Amino acid sequence: MATILEHPEAEVLLDAATITPQQVNACSRRLRAFLPRYLSLFRRSEQRANATLILEGKFSGLDRKTSEPIANQAGVPRKPLQAFVGAGAWDDEAVMAEIRSHVRQEWADPRAVLVVDGSAFPKKGTHSCGVSRQWCGRLGKVDNCQVGVFVIYACRKGHAPLDRRLYLPKDWDEDADRREECHVPEEVHYQERWRMALALLDRCREIPHAWVTGDDEFGRASEFRAELRKREERYVLDVPCNTLIRARRRSSESVSGRSGNPPHAGSECWCVRARKARWRWRR
């Protein structure tokens, strides 16, 4: 059975997302000019050095871009680099706040979009924080992976990350030994991903934007849609085809002499019945 990545449309998107070695080399040069603004947030010199090594390793030609191969390539001990990534005493929230400030300073656009996305990362082992058998969109099936929730800023000038949070499954939340081994903070507990997305969006609201968008993982949660309306956010969210919806009728309208709203129908059926004149293309 073909996976979602083997679908013709997916293959076209993947081809468009291919990055050449030349492009990566250019990114590496730009990275050196980009980093100073953020390195100042790391108080100790070894933290600044480790942050630089990790980022340069991510842009390198390594097959596995985890701490150990990055350390081996740089000729430095493995454990300090792993400790820096996994349990380093540096303020990651300060770094994310600086990213949001940087994006607002450079790209603020009242027509921009905040994209909410839940992305999974396949894993072989069972020791990475939050790893579990769960849906992995990258593989198109349930498999061993970590899942993160992200908010991305998309505007005419480009796109950039604004915030992120790692999803902690229920079995991890209740396992004190695994929490301690992976240095899970005491205040972090299991939370539905749509609630995580709301918390991240609340931290991004001051950045100018017009819309919030997301796939059906978030669109299917009626609570998420309701909370966006409370926040007076305009949104476009995908929903499963069997989602029950109905179009509200004006008070003056009636059907067969009866007033009120029509019965619910599946979103797929409703789209088929909707008059073509009611649809408009947005670019």
DSSP 239-274: --TT-EE-PPPPTT--BTTB-SPPPPEEHHHHHHHS
For residue 97, being part of any structural domain is answered with: no
Q: Where are the alpha helices (DSSP H) in the chain?
A: 8-16, 21-34, 36-39, 45-58, 67-74, 78-87, 92-107, 170-173, 176-181, 193-204, 216-219, 222-230, 267-273
Task: Give the total number of structural domains in the chain.
Answer: 3
Same domain, 168 and 86: no
User: Do both 11 and 62 map to the same domain?
Assistant: yes
- The domain boundary residue, chosen from 42, 59, 90: 90
Alpha helices (H) in 1-66, listed in sequence order: 8-16, 21-34, 36-39, 45-58
Clarify whether residues 80 and 131 are in a common domain: no
Same-domain status, 169 and 214: yes
Q: Is residue 26 part of a domain?
A: yes
Which residue carries 């309208």 as its tokens? Answer: 253
143 & 264 share domain: no
CB 203 within 8 A of CB 93: no
- Closest Cα partner for 100 from 236, 213, 200? 200
Pair 10, 42 in one domain: yes
Q: For residue 161, what pLDDT is reported?
A: 95
Residue of higher predicted confidence among 31 and 212 = 212
- Residue 14: how many CB atoms within 10 A of its CB? 11
Average pLDDT over residues 79-95: 89
Q: Which pair of structure tokens corresponds to residue 216?
A: 């059906």
Q: What's the domain range around 166?
A: 102-235
Residues 109 and 218 in one domain: yes
Question: Of 44, 68, 90, at which residue does a domain stop?
Answer: 90
- Indicate whether 122 and 231 sit together in one domain: yes
Q: Is residue 95 part of a domain?
A: no
Residue at 130 is within a domain: yes
The whole-model pTM stands at 0.80
Residues 55, 21: one domain? yes
In a domain, 117, yes or no: yes
CA distance 73 to 85: 17
79 and 140 co-located in one domain: no
pLDDT classification of 202: cutoffs 50, 70, 90: very high
Residue 265 lies in a domain: yes
Identify whether residues 228 and 255 lie together within a single domain.
Answer: no
One domain for residues 223 and 169: yes
- For the stretch 114-143, pLDDT in tens is 999 999 999 888 888 999 999 888 888 999
Domain boundary among 90, 124, 143: 90
Q: Per-residue pLDDT averaged across 268-283, rounded? A: 73
CA angle 105, 165, 63 (to 5 degrees): 95
